[in-house]
Amino acid sequence: MSVLRLKLPTDPRWVNIVEKNIEEILTDHAWCEQKAATNAITIITNNSEYQDLVKDLLALAKEEIDHFEQVHNIIIKRGLKLGRERKDDYVNELYLYMKKSSDGSRVSSLVERLLFSAMIEARSCERFKVLSENINDEELSVFYRDLMESEAGHYTTFITYARKYGVGIDVEKRWREWLEFEESVIANYGKNETIHG
């Protein structure tokens, strides 16, 4: 996962926690997909003048909703229930950093939102890889392997648009700073049966 440039890998023992409560991880995952779709729509709403970005993020939002449906179908098939939406403390910490990092300009706000989105996709991708390689449930192993590839594509989309439209901003420098910040955040997680927990 070096392509993602994450500084702190997930301890595979996190999967042992996940396996004790499959209903919880599936519920949390479903809501992560729903929030990812909402995030893409928000970016479109605030940056509608970029035709290529709108087109690609519409496709991404549809894919995220499709993933939500796939997770929900697994929940139903297993006789489980989709629980209420979960608070995601990890994402909330990244969100606050994003808000604090923007200088208030439209360009800065767009770049920070895209890097925030790329960061979440990168970590989700890494977590799905850890799940696919370590979970004892064959169906979920295959499922998370497939989703891992999709998340990697989403990460690339967000990074690409940050570079394209971040005129006057050193996007590479900002991404390195995001990676360093994320390392300090994720160090406190990996103890719960949630995608980022």
Q: Kindly indicate the confidence band of residue 193, based on its pLDDT and cuts at 50, 70 and 90.
A: confident
Q: Is residue 86 part of a domain?
A: yes
Provide the CATH number for the domain around residue 123: 1.20.1260.10
Average pLDDT over every residue of 13-28: 94
pLDDT tens per residue, range 96-130: 999 999 999 999 999 999 999 999 999 999 999 99
Position 3 in a domain:
no
Mean pLDDT for 151-164 is: 95
Question: Is 69 part of a structural domain of the chain?
Answer: yes
Residue 192 lies in a domain: no
Question: Domain count of the chain?
Answer: 1
> Which residue range(s) make up the domain with 24?
13-187
* pLDDT tens for each residue of 64-85: 999 999 999 999 999 999 999 9
Own/partner long-range contacts of 164-171 (Cβ < 8 Å, ≥24 apart): 165/47, 165/50, 165/53, 165/107, 165/110, 165/111, 165/114, 166/107, 166/110, 166/111, 167/107, 168/107, 169/107, 169/108, 169/111, 171/111, 171/115
- The answer to whether position 2 is within a domain reads no
Residue 197: per-residue pLDDT? 80
d(CA 193, CA 24): 6
How many angstroms separate the CA atoms of 93 and 123, rounded?
Answer: 14
Residue 6 lies in a domain: no
